[in-house]
Structure 1
Amino acid sequence: MTRLIQSLAEISSTYEALFCDLWGCLHNGRAPFPAAVAALQAFRKKGGKVVLMTNAPRPNERVVAQLDRMGVPRDAWDFVVSSGDAAQYALFTGAVGQKIWHLGPEKDDSFFTSHPEGLADPVEITRVPLDEAEGIVCTGPFDEMNEVPEDYRARFLYAKTKGLPMLCTNPDHVVDLGETRIYCAGALAALYEEMGGEALYFGKPHPPIYDLARRRLAALGHEIPDSAILAVGDGIFTDIKGGIGEGIDTLFITGGLAADQFGDDPEAPDAAMLDAWLDGKQLSPTYAISKLR
């Protein structure tokens, strides 16, 4: 049974590290949530480590730059690991070939222009048109504000016929940018798989991003057991499923992507509705809270 709590402070003494999602938990794509920032700052002041774990398809330094622009203070977190970081290791070791069709907006070009930390002898990658490609890297739609996955059906049929593998840099299906819901790379990859194509995933809920977070904690001298790590997020099939799969406790943010499922007041989720919804998903977070605070 999932325990509904009112603040992170109720349970924080049990944990030494947080694997905390960004979009929907710490910010809405435009501005940080002050209560969430304060909760993370308080956790760190007591000696806890905060790993910001995001399915953003960009390397962590680009995520950090975005957080700085939004005004998220540096004392709210220790380091960032992104789906882009984990997927870069696969790309530059040749997981989907060397001639790549990039499906995604120009803002994700940094995925190709920087190399993962610690990787020796990276494979040389060339971006080419679809008809010349050996593989696909999907970071999202070309026009994320206006396009939907179905817009790519014809191109995916061609790619599937050629047997092109797709590296999906962001397993999320949707995020809310302010009040606007937009599609992510995960929704495109799901359609490609539905059509018979092959997709490879490296962000939540898949193991590579968690392995990367543990390695970086260890490199900083923090050997933290899984029993002392809490995964925080609003994505039931990414943040929560991933945490459960890794054997770590989870805190589900009900006021994020699924806020309309738990009653009329996003600040006070209905416990019975929450339990019924979770039963339908066949997932049971350790805890749930309306907003990170």
Structure 2
Amino acid sequence: MTQIINSLAEISADYDVLFCDLWGCLHNGVEAYPAAVAALQGFRAKGGKVVMLTNAPRPWKYVAAQLDRMGVPRDAWDVVVSSGDAAQDAMFSGAVGRKVWAISVAKDDGFFNDIPEEWQDAPAIERVELDQAEGIVCTGLFDEVNEVPEDYRQTLTSAKERGLKLLCANPDVIVDLGETRLYCAGALAEFYEDLGGISLYFGKPHAPIYDLARRKLGLGPDARILAVGDGIATDVPGASGQGIDALFVTGGLAHDQFGTDVEAPEQAKLDEWLALRLENPRYSIGRLR
């Protein structure tokens, strides 16, 4: 049974490092949550390290710039590690070929154009039309506000018949932008698999993003890490797969499942909901604070 806590400070002394999710925990895509920012600042003030571990499909510096725009101070975190970083490594290594059909929008152009130093000498990645592509790279739907995965059935069926692999730069299925729910690249990747295609993942809950986070901080095997997140399909199983504790933020994507007070989840409802999903995070909290 998960233990519901009221604040990060109750358990922070047991950990050296936080792997903290962003969307749904630190911000809602529009503005940062002051209490969450203060919690991270407090953890760092006591000597802890904070990794902003996000499934954003953009390289880390674009995520950091977004946090700056939201007014998240730099003393709230140490490094940012994104699904975009881990997926970029795979793309530039040629995981889906050198000629790719990109399901993407302008805000994610940095994924293709901002080449990491270690890949500067690698053969170029060329974005082409689907009929010329060796593989697919998806950072998100072309129109995340109005489209759904079903809109891509004909196109992705054609890609599957050609045996193209799909590199997913963001395994998240949905996010809430303020009050609006949007589909992410993970939704298309899952849809492609349902059609019989092959999708490749590098963000949470998959190992590459955690390996990259450890390398960036130089963490050894004995580091005491707590993963904080609201994704029951990403953050919680990702932590379990890495052998680290999880703090599940119930007030994120599943905020309407645990009673009337988003800040105070009801234990019985939470336990039942988690059992149905075969997950058991060590701790849970209404909102990160």
TM-score bracket relative to the smaller structure = over 0.9
Name which of 240, 243, 249 aligns with 1:244.
240
| 1:43 Cα deviation after fit | 0.2
Identical positions, percent: 66
| 1:104 Cα deviation after fit | 1.4
Q: Does 1:264 align with 2:260?
A: yes
Moved more, 168-177 or 101-110: 101-110
Distance 1:82 1:267 in 2: 27
Moved more, 63-72 or 205-214: 63-72
1:149 alignment partner in structure 2: 149
Would the aligned equivalents of 1:17 and 1:224 in 2 still touch at CA under 8 Å?
no
| 1:225 Cα deviation after fit | 2.2
Q: Does 1:68 align with 2:64?
A: no
1:233 alignment partner in structure 2: 229
Q: Does 1:255 align with 2:251?
A: yes
Name which of 276, 285, 289 aligns with 1:289.
285
- RMSD over equivalenced CA pairs, Å: 1.0
**Any idea what the Cα deviations from partners look like across 1:113-133, whole Å, max 9, x if unmatched?**
112353463231100011110
2:164 alignment partner in structure 1: 164
Distance 1:17 1:234 in 2: 18
For normalisation by structure 1, the TM-score amounts to 0.97
1:279 alignment partner in structure 2: 275
Query: Where does structure 1 differ by over 4 angstroms across 4 or more consecutive aligned residues?
Result: none
- Give the AA of the match of 1:115: I
**Any idea what the Cα deviations from partners look like across 1:120-149, whole Å, max 9, x if unmatched?**
632311000111100000001001111111
**Any idea what the Cα deviations from partners look like across 1:154-174, whole Å, max 9, x if unmatched?**
100110011110000000000
- Give the AA of the match of 1:2: T
2:214 alignment partner in structure 1: 214
Would the aligned equivalents of 1:115 and 1:122 in 2 still touch at CA under 8 Å?
no
SS at match of 1:261: coil
Structure 1, gaps ≥5 residues long: none
Would the aligned equivalents of 1:240 and 1:250 in 2 still touch at CA under 8 Å?
yes
| 1:105 Cα deviation after fit | 1.1
| 1:193 Cα deviation after fit | 0.2
Distance 1:105 1:190 in 2: 19
Would the aligned equivalents of 1:138 and 1:169 in 2 still touch at CA under 8 Å?
yes
For normalisation by structure 2, the TM-score amounts to 0.98
Q: Give runs of aligned pairs for residues 12-91 of structure 1, distance below 5 A.
A: 12-91=12-91
Distance 1:122 1:215 in 2: 22
| 1:20 Cα deviation after fit | 0.1
| 1:264 Cα deviation after fit | 1.4
| 1:280 Cα deviation after fit | 0.3
Would the aligned equivalents of 1:16 and 1:224 in 2 still touch at CA under 8 Å?
no
1:196 alignment partner in structure 2: 196
Distance 1:229 1:130 in 2: 42
Q: Give runs of aligned pairs for residues 109-120 of structure 1, distance below 5 A.
A: 109-119=109-119
**Any idea what the Cα deviations from partners look like across 1:7-30, whole Å, max 9, x if unmatched?**
000000000000000000000001
Distance 1:135 1:106 in 2: 20
1:140 alignment partner in structure 2: 140
Distance 1:115 1:224 in 2: 30
| 1:224 Cα deviation after fit | 6.1
Distance 1:153 1:268 in 2: 41
Would the aligned equivalents of 1:86 and 1:209 in 2 still touch at CA under 8 Å?
yes
1:94 alignment partner in structure 2: 94
The aligned length equals 289
- Give the AA of the match of 1:255: G
**Any idea what the Cα deviations from partners look like across 1:198-242, whole Å, max 9, x if unmatched?**
000000000000000000111xxx53625x100000001100110
